[in-house]
């Protein structure tokens, strides 16, 4: 089963199931990003792997123009049934880079991704693409799965934290926060994720 198939099947019960598992990754990412990006301060946000919209809620609440991107049409339908405050919801496979709607728009203040980038084949390339559409001093905040003493499914890619930090720096980003946390408790124990918040190293336009 591909990641797309998994989430197409999971979409109707995703919020309930993740709550039962103690899924805290959206809250952890929101707290980390908000420490560097006040929800009301920037108005253009892209949520990669948006799912039901858990991670971008504070920016939608603040009136930002949020574009949600996901490989699963069923997850996008769940997002649309929620608060309905997305500027756009785009079905797109991140293995193909960023969608044309995001590339064409550019000028993005904040790019978020929670629980999605561990499915991307070339995370370094995606981080470079993300930086290219940010405004000067724009921010990327995302989770990924770090190396740990357990196995994951065949479509999941794990990364060393040092490796991800190097990719961010090579993409022209300055790392603001980078740490691991317990994202949820599976049948065989706690599962660690990592989050990173990085700012485009260019100076903002006066």
CATH number at residue 118: 3.40.50.150
pLDDT at 206: 54
User: Do residues 90 and 72 lie in contact, with contact meaning Cβ atoms separated by under 8 Å?
Assistant: no
Looking only at the bridges linking them, the beta strands covering 173-186 and 65-70 are unpaired
The residues facing 12 across adjacent strands are none
The number of distinct structural domains making up the chain is 1
Residue 206 counted as domain residue: no
pLDDT at site 5: 84
Whether residue 47 is contained in a domain is answered as yes
**In the 8-state DSSP scheme, what is residue 201?**
S
* 205: in domain: no
91 inside domain = yes
- Give counts: helices (H), strands (E), the chain: 8, 7
User: Is 132 inside any structural domain?
Assistant: yes
CB under 8 A, 24+ apart: contacts of 185-194 = 185/21, 185/22, 186/21, 188/150, 189/150, 191/148, 191/150, 192/145, 192/146, 192/148, 193/25, 193/28, 193/115, 193/143, 193/144, 193/145, 193/146, 194/143, 194/144, 194/145, 194/146, 194/161, 194/164
Whether residue 60 is contained in a domain is answered as: yes
Structural domain contains residue 69: yes
pLDDT in tens, the chain (206 residues): 788 888 998 899 999 999 999 999 999 999 999 998 888 777 899 999 999 999 999 999 999 999 999 999 999 999 998 776 899 999 999 999 999 989 987 799 999 999 999 999 999 999 999 999 999 999 999 999 999 988 898 899 999 999 999 999 999 999 999 999 999 998 888 999 999 999 999 877 55
Domain membership of residue 184 as a residue range? 3-200
Residue 137, domain member (yes or no): yes
Nearest to 92 by CA among 105, 77, 73: 73
Maximal C-alpha separation, the chain: 52
């Amino acid at each position: 089963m591909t990641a797309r198939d998994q989430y197409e099947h999971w979409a109707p019960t995703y919020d309930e199931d993740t709550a039962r598992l103690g899924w805290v990754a959206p809250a952890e990412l929101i707290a980390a990003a908000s420490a560097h990006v006040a929800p009301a301060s920037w108005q253009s946000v892209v949520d990669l792997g948006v799912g039901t919209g858990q991670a971008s809620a504070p920016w939608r609440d603040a009136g930002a123009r949020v574009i949600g991107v996901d490989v699963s049409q069923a997850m996008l339908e769940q997002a649309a049934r929620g608060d309905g405050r997305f500027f756009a919801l785009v079905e797109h496979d991140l293995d193909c880079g960023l969608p044309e709607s995001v590339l064409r728009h550019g000028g993005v203040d904040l790019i978020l991704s929670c629980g999605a980038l561990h499915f991307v084949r070339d995370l370094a390339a995606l981080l470079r693409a993300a930086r290219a559409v940010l405004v000067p001093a724009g921010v990327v905040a995302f989770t990924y799965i770090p190396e740990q003493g357990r196995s994951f499914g065949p479509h999941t890619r794990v990364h060393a934290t040092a490796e991800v930090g190097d990719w961010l720096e090579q993409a022209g980003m300055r790392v603001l926060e980078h740490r691991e946390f317990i994202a949820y408790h599976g049948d065989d124990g706690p599962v660690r994720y990592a989050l990173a918040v990085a700012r485009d190293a260019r100076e903002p336009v006066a």
